[in-house]
């Protein structure tokens, strides 16, 4: 009963915190719009509408970037350092993980508009993701970035879910995800905790890799759950 009350209380705090957080990030946008409104008071109607309309659109973009920037700064300064572990749902580690996940989710609504871009690339790196040279990330569903590593020249397709956590029964499982060099992760696939994908491997679209799956270099995997479709020997024929 006590844990349930604590859960509801913390959920309420998260809702309030989200509103304050987004509101604080919107201050530069509001200042811009108010300034335009004030400076166009003597314009004719259609001219004023054009200026205010453009300022509102620009203000929305600034708001998105401010939320992402603010989250990236906090993430860079306070990101957790978890090792592979399995802990009870109601534990201090779970609380720390949940707080950082909530912080990440505050920026996620805007990440989807900006992938792939240097903005998202920088955001994931600030949140702790190790991203190799010329890697391309087209997904807004990279969770637990501080436990994810993506190798050089790998491509992460749109709507790929990469997560280093999973809840099973009354436990939270945390395990790092490692994607090697020159890998291709197909659209809509799911990479679960503890997965390791070797260099040059391909994960087919909408495939689901169960937790702790090891994909050898050069192999092609697909399906639900994902299984070997073609091995590296076949690729060389």
β-partners of residue 177 are 148
How many Cβ atoms sit within 10 Å of the Cβ of residue 77? 8
Domain 82-237: give its CATH superfamily. Hexapeptide repeat proteins (2.160.10.10)
Q: How much is the pLDDT for 204?
A: 95
* Residue written as token pair 């091995």: 231
Q: How much is the pLDDT for 10?
A: 78
188, with CB counted inside 10 A (0-12, 13-18, 19+), is middle
Whether 216 and 229 have beta carbons less than 8 Å apart is answered as no
- The phi and psi torsions of 84 (rounded to 5 degrees) equal -60, 125
CA 87/CA 95 separation, integer angstroms:
11
Q: What is the pTM of this model?
A: 0.88
Domain boundaries defined on the chain: 1-78, 82-237
Cis peptide before 18 (omega within 30 of 0): no
List the one residue out of 187, 217, 236, 154 whose CA is nearest residue 228.
217
Q: What is the pLDDT along the chain (237 residues), one digit of tens a residue?
A: 666 777 678 788 889 999 999 999 999 999 999 999 999 999 999 999 999 999 999 999 999 999 999 999 999 998 888 888 899 988 888 888 988 999 999 999 999 889 889 999 999 999 999 999 999 999 999 999 999 999 999 999 999 999 999 998 889 999 999 999 999 999 999 999 999 999 999 999 999 999 999 999 999 999 999 999 988 656 555
- The phi and psi torsions of 39 (rounded to 5 degrees) equal -80, -10
Q: How much is the pLDDT for 216?
A: 94
Q: How much is the pLDDT for 90?
A: 82
């Amino acid at each position: 009963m006590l844990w349930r009350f604590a859960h509801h209380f913390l959920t309420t705090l998260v809702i309030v915190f989200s509103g304050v957080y987004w509101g604080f990030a919107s201050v530069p946008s509001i200042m811009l719009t108010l300034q335009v409104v004030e400076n166009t008071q003597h314009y004719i109607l259609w001219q004023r509408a054009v200026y205010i309309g453009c300022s509102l659109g620009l203000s929305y973009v600034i708001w998105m970037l401010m939320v992402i920037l603010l989250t990236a700064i906090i993430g860079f300064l306070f990101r957790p350092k978890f090792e592979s572990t399995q802990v009870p749902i109601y534990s201090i580690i779970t609380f720390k993980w949940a707080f950082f996940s909530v912080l990440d989710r505050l920026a996620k609504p805007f990440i989807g508009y900006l992938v792939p871009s240097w903005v998202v690339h920088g955001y994931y790196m600030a949140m702790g993701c190790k991203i190799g040279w010329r890697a391309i990330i087209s997904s807004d569903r990279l969770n637990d970035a501080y436990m994810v590593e993506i190798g050089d020249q790998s491509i992460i397709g749109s709507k790929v879910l990469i997560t280093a956590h999973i809840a099973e029964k009354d436990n939270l499982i945390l395990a790092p995800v490692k994607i090697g060099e020159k890998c291709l992760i197909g659209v809509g696939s799911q990479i679960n905790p503890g997965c390791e994908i070797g260099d040059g491997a391909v994960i087919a679209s909408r495939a689901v890799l169960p937790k702790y799956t090891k994909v050898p270099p050069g192999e092609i995997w697909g399906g639900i759950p994902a299984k070997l479709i073609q091995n590296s020997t076949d690729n060389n024929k």
